[in-house]
Structure 1
Amino acid sequence: MQLDEYSMIFSKILYSTFPEFEQYQQIREYSGLNEAYLIIEIPSPSNNDNVLWISTCDEEITVGFDWYHTHFGYSETDEEDFKIAIDHIRDIVEEKIAIVIVKKNDSWVRSSIITDKDLPLLNEDETIDIKSWNGTYFN
């Protein structure tokens, strides 16, 4: 089973930037096709339950951390998408951004990123959890 071309190109760029991520690579086959895509799940150094995950399924890069994820695949070129996705991954692992998870009665309501220490406005009975790669975003 061979990676599709999109996944092969992105993986070379990703691993040249973050060579330590390659050990977490999983290859998943598209159902009924002789091609595959990447799933990479990297445990956070601060908490193994907080996982940074990257997928190239359907020629779209998806990057997620904890209860947050976003998609890259809408630029004019794949190369531009790759660069934006790599920059976003770098922002997560360098703690330039953190993830805010809003809950109400312990149930997920929404997730977003923050780039500074300004927290989102909360509705009544909502609480937040803040997650960052090293667990030191507010320290």
Structure 2
Amino acid sequence: MAKDSDSNFGEPLFAAFPEWRALARREVNGCGEEMVVIDVSAPAAADVGEGLWITWGDGEITVGLGDYHQHFGGWPGENFWLGDDGALAFVQGIIDERLAFATLFNDDEAVAYTMMETGELGRPVVSDRPFNRMRVRSWNGTFDADP
């Protein structure tokens, strides 16, 4: 694959996960911008509809697992997860199961998605949308919960 669009994010990502280089492909998004896209199948135990996906280009990196995704770079702010280093730490946190993802439901309707550190799964979840149940998913399924 040629250069990594307008980011060098592929260099540290492929250094940490060399087997993912073969999964990388170029796509043009709906805005006509060229992106690098990687889809990594999650272990079956994760029980997520969509595995880990990573895109970068046009100054932004996006990382998602299942129903949740996070943007990195593209704008300054107080968010810890900004930039290439934050995106790589986020990916590593998913694979190491230090991060889990929750879908908040109000009855059968998904109303919000959030990420949490697995060491803090017992803490109450705050949402500006009312919810009455929560489904949690992690990379290897270790922290999966279905109330």
TM-score by length of 2: 0.75
Asked whether the 8 Å contact 1:99–1:111 carries over to 2, the reply is: yes
| 8 A contact 1:102–1:128 mirrored in 2 | yes
Match of residue 121, structure 2, among 117, 123, 127: 117
Counterpart position of 1:51: 51
**Quick one: structure 1 residues 62 and 109, their matched pair in 2 at CA, closer, same or farther if it must change by over 3 Å?**
same
SS of the equivalent of 2:140 reads coil
Measured after TM superposition, the shift of residue 133 of structure 1 is: 0.3
Deviations 1:97-128 (A, max 9, x none): 10011112322111111112224258766221
CA contact (8 A) 2:138 2:144 kept: no
Q: Which blocks of at least 5 consecutive residues in structure 1 are unaligned?
A: none
In structure 2, what residue type is equivalent to 1:23? A
Structure 1 match to 2:28: 29
Looking at structure 1, the residues matched to 86 and 102 of structure 2 have their Cα atoms a distance apart, in angstroms, of 21
Structure 1 outlier segments of 4+, above 6 Å: none
What 5-or-longer segments of structure 2 have no aligned partner?
Answer: none
Distance in 2 (CA, whole Å) between partners of 1:114 and 1:48 is: 16
Quick one: percent identity of the two aligned structures?
Answer: 27
- Residue 94 (structure 1) aligned to one of 80, 96, 112: 96
What is the CA–CA distance in structure 2 between the aligned matches of 1:40 and 1:51, rounded to whole Å? 10
Deviation at 1:70, TM superposition (A): 0.9
Query: What is the CA-CA distance between 1:56 and the residue it aligns to?
Result: 0.7
Q: How does 1:1-139 map to 2 (within 5 A)?
A: 3=3, 5-7=5-7, 9-29=8-28, 36-45=34-43, 46=45, 47=47, 49-73=49-73, 74-75=75-76, 81-115=83-117, 116-118=120-122, 119-120=124-125, 126-137=132-143
Change (3 A) 1:4 1:105: same
SS in 2 for 1:55: strand
Q: How far is the alpha carbon of 1:19 from its aligned partner?
A: 1.2
Aligned residues of 1:100 and 1:128 also touching (Cα < 8 A) = yes
1:62 Cα offset (Å):
0.6
Amino acid at match of 1:112: T
Which protein is richer in helix relative to its size? 1
Change (3 A) 1:124 1:18: same
Look up the SS of the partner of 1:6 in the other structure: coil
